[in-house]
Amino acid sequence: DAKTTQPPSMDCAEGRAANLPCNHSTISGNEYVYWYRQIHSQGPQYIIHGLKNNETNEMASLIITEDRKSSTLILPHATLRDTAVYYCIVRVAGLPSGSARQLTFGSGTQLTVLP
Amino acid sequence: EAGVTQFPSHSVIEKGQTVTLRCDPISGHDNLYWYRRVMGKEIKFLLHFVKESKQDESGMPNNRFLAERTGGTYSTLKVQPAELEDSGVYFCASSLFRGGTDTQYFGPGTRLTVL
């Protein structure tokens, strides 16, 4: 799986959009970009994932650049409860055998939403 | 739909004792993963089951760790004998492989303290 680079920390004002960047310059054509977050010591929470196109769900939007070398997770209206460590993970799609595989977590970005 | 559950939530044992952690995946999920986070370190993969078979156990630290998944449903992770460095939070995740990829959903974790 390709390596990702994220800023160690970011602040965001409550109610504003939080834009979390991720660099994955060595990503391959068959690798997805996944985002998870961990609030305190809770289990990691799935947010969103994408392959090429931008994606949106009820939690966030994922913008992937055309060359796929970087992406941005957008939380449109950050709340205090969004304070967490956010992980950008690049993960190859199913192995040739068609099986799933593990996630490789880095150190992530500590997002602090300020009142 | 119930999420991934783990038991116990906390366990405090003495060095040399045995501890068994349990994970109940989301119903119908073939894939079950174990991860752990030791103090100050990143979340690390331990092993991966597909149904009752071990697909990948490359992350298991040593032979003091034994994982089983009876009947392809719940899984247990036994540590015997426990050492101080085994302290940390153990997470379980489950997923259903579909459409070329899978999304892993995590449980709340078991915090293990070895004294």
Query: Which DSSP string do the residues of B4-26 spell out, in sequence order?
Result: -EEE-SEEEE-TT--EEEEEEPP
Residues of B within 8 A of A52 (CB-CB) are: none
Neighbours of B111 (CB within 10 A): 16
CA distance A33 to chain B (A): 11
Identity of the residue in A41, A42, A94 whose CB atom sits nearest the CB atom of B100: A94
B96 contacts: CB under 8 Å, gap ≥ 6? B26, B28, B29, B30, B31, B102
Q: Would you say residue A92 has pLDDT above 90?
A: no
Confidence of residue A30 (pLDDT cuts 50, 70, 90): confident
The closest of B37, B28, B38, B20 to B4, measured between CA atoms, is: B28
SS3 (DSSP) at B76? strand
Confidence of residue A96 (pLDDT cuts 50, 70, 90): very low
Cα separation, B91 vs B81, in Å, equals 20
Contact of B105 with B1, CB cutoff 8 Å:
no
Mean pLDDT along residues A89-106: 74
Per-residue DSSP letter, B51: T
Quick: pLDDT tens for B68-113. 998 889 999 999 999 999 999 999 999 988 777 789 999 999 999 9
Q: Is B18 on the interface with A (CB under 8 A)?
A: no
- What's the longest Cα–Cα distance across chain B? 45
Quick: pLDDT tens for A53-78. 899 999 999 999 999 999 999 999 99
Q: State residue A95's pLDDT score.
A: 55
Picking from B44, B90, B106 by the largest number of A CB atoms within 10 A of its own CB, the best residue to mutate is B106
CA distance A96 to chain B (A): 10
Average pLDDT, chain B: 93
Phi, psi (5° rounding) for residue A61? -120, 145
Q: State residue A101's pLDDT score.
A: 83
Contact of A76 with A82, CB cutoff 8 Å:
no
